[in-house]
Structure 1
Amino acid sequence: MTEKEKMLAGDLYLAFDGELVEERNQAKSLCYELNLLHPEEDLRAEVLAELLPNSLDPWIEPSFFCDYGYNITTGKNFYANHGCVILDGAPVTIGDDVMFAPAVHISTATHPLNAKQRTDGLERALPVSIGDRVWIGMGAKILPGVTIGDNAVVAAGAVVVKDVAANTVVAGVPAQYVRDVPEDEESA
């Protein structure tokens, strides 16, 4: 297996493999281009289409950074505010009508606890899945292997280390259940 195949399979892989470095550099070049566009230039959609070929017309404010881009899939009406970072060694799937506040970070990358494996350059990537109509608050961090259910709300500053049930609000470090999402505005 190539290092890329290992990465996509969730196995330990060498992150500094030539093919992966080249692909990250390509994504970083596109992020650079996106982040330097003048706000009135009408090129954002073109750059995002190249950077995120598996996404449905996302709206992403600069600055935005990702590792590969091709592992990110967004549904319709996805919005990410300034300072979003997605480390997408594994698939990151984002549903419809999802909103990210400023400085949301998602990482699929994780490193072995074994020091020798880490110093040898090995890492692993685990997928992240975010359902429909999810709101991720400012500065929240989503860690590898996490699934967030439909309609969930992740509070500002939360660090999500385990799955979040649909229709719930989580907050804190590590993120914990706070309450169910209200069914109507009167109970919000």
Structure 2
Amino acid sequence: MSFSSLRAVVRADAGRYVHLLELDGTAALQHEVPAVKVLRALTICQGLQATLVHRVGHELVHWQPASAAGRVVRLAARVLHFAANRFVEASTGISVAERASIGPGLYIGHFGGVIIGAVTMGENCTVSHGITIGRSGRTGENTRPTLGDRVWVGPGAVVTGAIHLGDDSVVGANSVVTRDVPARATAVGAPARILPGRPSFEMVVYAGQDDDAGRAASLAAWRRPEIRLDDAETVPEGAGVAGAQDA
């Protein structure tokens, strides 16, 4: 169990909420010390509360102490985490599996009906309310979705099965995604259709994004003419991800 890595990931999660609160003008945070900013975000953002509980549980699952005393401490911590996790699920409507592997900077925009199973997610992903991301009904380990970095999942979406969502991809509101989504593409509809060349750059916001080498490389690839496909599937007027930029 690495407390230093846990601290770094939690700092990234909290920093994302603090940054978005400042952008939204929810509270006058600019002149407050960092600790007060984080405490305010933790108090008013249910998504951060659920994420923090998940981070602790994830570390406990993978902590294998060698000594008998360490194993007793782990057992006690697991019991306490179980109680905390059930309380957070009941109070926020957010359930994040402790075995989910999620990169730093997770942002859950709204509370209520958020189910994230034992999936793999990259850095700085954003999920909205009423979503389900998890395994399909089949058995085996290779039935869980994998999300890349900076993926945006809209309200009411379902992402399930052994699929991969590429970096900077988008899942539109109320979409049902059961197949791969390329990097910098959007999936809309039920079942989802893939619209190439429609990335999440304007939807996923976080501090330091202009200095993020991975984002810069993806943005450069999107701007290359040979990457911007012209034969994208068409959708009816008004369809897509409209109304989903609330996170």
Q: Shared topology, TM-score over 0.5?
A: yes
Q: Specify every segment of 5 or more residues in structure 1 that has no aligned partner in the other structure, as ranges.
A: 1-37, 55-59, 112-122
How far, CA to CA, are the matches of 1:159 and 1:144 in structure 2? 11
Correspondence 1:80-91 to 2 at 5 A: 80=108, 81-82=110-111, 83-88=113-118
- The 2-side partners of 1:161 and 1:150 are apart by 17
Q: How does 1:96-107 map to 2 (within 5 A)?
A: 96-107=123-134
Q: CA RMSD in A?
A: 3.4
Deviation of the 1:170 alpha carbon: 1.1
Contact 1:87 1:109 (8 Å CA) reproduced: no
Change over 3 Å in CA distance of 1:46–1:95 after alignment to 2: closer
Aligned equivalent of 2:98: 69
Q: Which has the higher contact order (CA 8 A, sep 6+)?
A: 1
Structure number with greater Rg is 2
How far did 1:175 drift? 0.7
Task: State the shift of 1:64 in Å.
Answer: 1.2
| Cα 1:137/1:124, change in 2 over 3 Å | same
Matches within 5 A, 1:6-155: 39=43, 44=49, 47-53=53-59, 62-66=92-96, 68-70=97-99, 72-80=100-108, 81-82=110-111, 83-88=113-118, 92-111=119-138, 123-125=139-141, 126-155=143-172
1:110, 1:124 within 8 Å by CA — same for their partners in 2? no
Identity of aligned residues (%): 26
Offset of residue 127 of structure 1: 2.2
Shift of 1:154: 0.6
Q: Separation in 1 of the partners of 2:150 and 2:53?
A: 25
Which residue in 1 is equivalent to 2:73? none
Distance 1:184 1:171, change over 3 A: closer
Task: Give the TM-score of the pair, scaled to structure 2.
Answer: 0.45
Q: CA deviation at 1:184?
A: 7.7
Does the 8 A contact of 2:151 with 2:200 survive in 1? no
- How big is each residue's C-alpha offset from its partner over 1:99-138, in whole Å with a ceiling of 9 and x where there is no partner? 0011110121414xxxxxxxxxxx4451210000110100
| Residue segments in structure 2 that go unaligned for 5+ positions in a row | 1-41, 62-88, 203-222, 224-247
Q: Is the 8 A contact 1:130 1:148 kept in 2?
A: yes
Deviations 1:15-53 (A, max 9, x none): xxxxxxxxxxxxxxxxxxxxxxx9469x93653333333
CA distance in 1, matches of 2:201, 2:148: 20
Letter in 2 for 1:94: M
- 2:198 maps to what in 1? 181
Corresponding residue of 1:27: none
Q: Distance in 1 between matches of 2:55 and 2:200?
A: 35
Question: Partners of 1:177 and 1:95 in 2: how far apart?
Answer: 20
Rounded Cα–Cα distance in structure 2 between residues aligned with 1:160 and 1:52: 26
Letter in 2 for 1:74: I
Kindly tell me: are residues 46 and 103 of structure 1, through their superposed partners in 2, closer, same or farther at Cα, counting changes over 3 Å?
closer
Structure 1 residues 184, 158: CA separation in 2 closer, same or farther (over 3 Å shift)? closer
Aligned partners of 2:200, 2:134: CA distance in 1, in Å?
31
Structure 1 or 2: larger helix share?
A: 2
Distance 1:101 1:169 in 2: 16
Q: Which secondary structure state, in structure 1, belongs to the residue aligned with residue 116 of structure 2?
A: strand
Size of the aligned set, in residue pairs, is 128
CA gap of 1:76–1:87, structure 2 versus 1, over 3 A, is closer
